Every structure is written in C-alpha cells, then in structure tokens.
Chain A
Amino acid sequence: MKNIVHKKKVILALMLSLLAFFMLIELIQILQKESFPPAQLALLVEENIHKTGVTNPVTAVLLSFRAYDTLLEMGVLVLAFFGAIGLSGGGLEYNQLTKTSQHPILIKLASTLVPVMILTGGYLLWAGTHQPGGAFQAGAVLAVGGVLLSKAGLTDPLKWYPKLTLLFCTLGLTGFLLVGISFHLIGFHFLHHPQALSYVLIFFIETLIALSTASVLIMLYAIGRALLSPLGTRQ
C-alpha cells in the first residue's frame, strides 16, 4: 500500500516538473519577444530616474516610485516578528545557562567572518544607491553575521529582548512612516519629499530598513532556537 502511494507521488512529481519545464521554455520564448510590456516600464524608470537622486533603478523603484510597497513590506517584517513572539507564548527570556556549541572552529570562523560581513553589509547599503545592492541585501548579510555569532555561542540575541530588539525591529517601519508623515504635514503628498533632499532621505530610510531587516531575521532565528531548546523559555 505504501509503495503504491510512493509511486503515485513520484508520478505526480514527474508530471509537475515536466509542466514546470514547459512553462520555463514558454517563459523564455515570451521574454525573447521585443514587444513585452515591462520593457516599456523600464523605459519609464529610465526617463524619470534623475528625479529620485539615486542612479540604481532597483533602489529608485523600491524607495521612490513604489515607496508605498516597501513601507508595507516593512510592516510584514514587523508582523512576522510579533507573530514569532506570539508563538513563544510570551515566555522568552535570556538565559545565561544556554551556552550552546562553544566549538573552537565555529568561534574562529565567526570572529573572522563577522567583521567582514559587517563591512560587506555597510558597503552593500551604500552601493545600493548607484549599483546593485541595497537595504534588504545589506540587512540579510548582517543577519547572517548575527546568526553566525549566536550559533558560535559568542552572544545571544535574546540578551537585548524586549526593549532594544523591539526598537530595532520596528525602526524601519516607524522611520519610514515618520519621514513620510512629516513631509505630508509640511504640504507634500504622503511619502513624497522634496527632490533636493531625495538622496539623503532615501539613504537614511535604507539604513533604517537594513538595520530593521537584520534584527527581525536574527530575532526570528533566536526565538525559534529558544522555542526548540528546553532552557530557552520559561516553563
């Protein structure tokens, strides 16, 4: 009986992968045609990019043309953070007894790689204004550095729970909203700002978003690990 179920699964998987393969071929053929509408969108971005103060089209779309989407994305990250706290049942606390792996190789690896990761994160953040990079990538690299530190047992992100982590995890959303609302009060549209200040403001918001993304990802990891280990949560 089990064998039959397994065979059915294999056949289903085969059919699905065949379907995906043909869809991929179809997609490639569509992309090769010249009259594909997003090409016009790219032209629109190119025509208006000088108004945003940045030269990387991805950053221009994310933080200027489609700032509202990015704002809501930050909301999703904050919601994920609160969701994880909710799953923990409110019993999260820093426990000095949870010394996980004090493995010498991990410690050496973390102490060598984390400074480089912080540097890379900072560079990606700065590079995002004129070449590929940006806030989310920088945040992801910083987050991996933080996870490596806590994996090596060098620090526990829960040490800063709840005050500092709450501040950092909501920093992107609140900062973005504050900038948007304060210029709205002066007389601009919501999330609009004067062109002269564009570069500074986009860089400021990107920094906040990077910090926020990194702390949310690190906290998701830390909360998950605390939930799995019997020492991490108050029973």
Chain B
Amino acid sequence: MSIISIIDITLSLSLIWIAWRAIMARDLFKSVVFFITLGLILSLSWIRLNAIDIALAEAAIGAGLTGVLLLDAVDHLSKRPKAKLQKVKK
C-alpha cells in the first residue's frame, strides 16, 4: 500500500468520523466547529479527486461562509431566552 492511498483512506475515514461528531455533538457550538472542519477535510478530498475548482468553492462557501452563518445562528439561539424575558418585563 502506497503512502498516497494511506492518506486517501485516512481522509475518507476522518470525513465520516467528523460528520458523525458534527451530528451527534450535544453542544451546538461544537457541532458547528465540526461542520467547519468537515468542510476543510472535504475540500482536501476534492483536491485528491483532482477537482480543484470544487475544492476552492467548498473551502470558501462550505467551510467559510456557511460556518459564519451557522455561528451567528448559534449565537442568536443562545441569546433567545434573554430576549423573551425582556419582552415580559415591558
């Protein structure tokens, strides 16, 4: 088995493992961090498949932009109970 195929197998297995962690994490923030990691590993896998265009798009949109959007959503969700309290006080 060559080094390249060891790297490929490691990439594929870590993809599945990180996806699993992202779904099963109790903490939403942790989930999002795993999702961003998934995006980065996925873009490495696209490079291994010789699809550099898709790797670039995956790194920028899948890991970068979606990650920011999800982090903002987590931030908003964690603030929500406080907002409700303020409304009750008014």
Residues of B within 8 A of A144 (CB): 60, 64-65
> Which of A32-40, A44-52, A71-79, A129-137 lies at the interface?
A129-137
Segment of A161-169, A191-199, A221-229 in the binding face: A221-229
Given A133-B53, A137-B57, A140-B60, A17-B65 contact (CB < 8 Å) = no
- Write out, one digit per residue, whether chain B residues 1-39 have a CB within 8 A of any chain A CB (1) or not (0): 000000000001000100110011000000000000000
Complex alpha-carbon distance, A232 and B9, angstroms: 47
Interface size class of A (residues with CB under 8 A): 20 to 34
What's the minimum C-beta distance from A212 to chain B, rounded to whole angstroms? 15
Give the docked Cα–Cα distance between A217 and B73 (Å): 16
Contact in complex: A221, B20 (CB < 8 Å): no
A208 shortest CB reach to chain B, Å: 18
The B-contacting residues of A in range 127-184, CB under 8 angstroms, are: 132-134, 136-137, 140-141, 143-144, 147, 151
Give the distance in Å from the alpha carbon of A228 to the alpha carbon of B69 in the complex.
11
With a CB–CB cut-off of 8 A, which chain A residues contact B12? 24
A124 within 8 A of B: yes
In whole angstroms, what is the CA distance A13 to B16 when docked? 12
Q: Does A188 contact B (CB under 8 A)?
A: no
Bound Cα distance A100, B2 (Å): 51
CB distance from A197 to the nearest CB of B (A): 24
Enumerate the 9 nearest inter-chain pairs by beta-carbon distance, A residue then B residue, closest first: A140-B60, A132-B52, A137-B56, A228-B76, A144-B64, A132-B53, A140-B61, A58-B53, A141-B60
CA distance A58 to B57 in the complex (A): 13
A21 at the B interface (CB under 8 A): yes
- Chain A residue nearest to B83 (CB atoms) is A230
Docked-complex contact B57 and A140, CB < 8 angstroms:
yes
Residues on the B chain within 8 Å of A20, using CB:
16
Q: Are B53 and A137 in contact, CB atoms less than 8 angstroms apart? A: yes
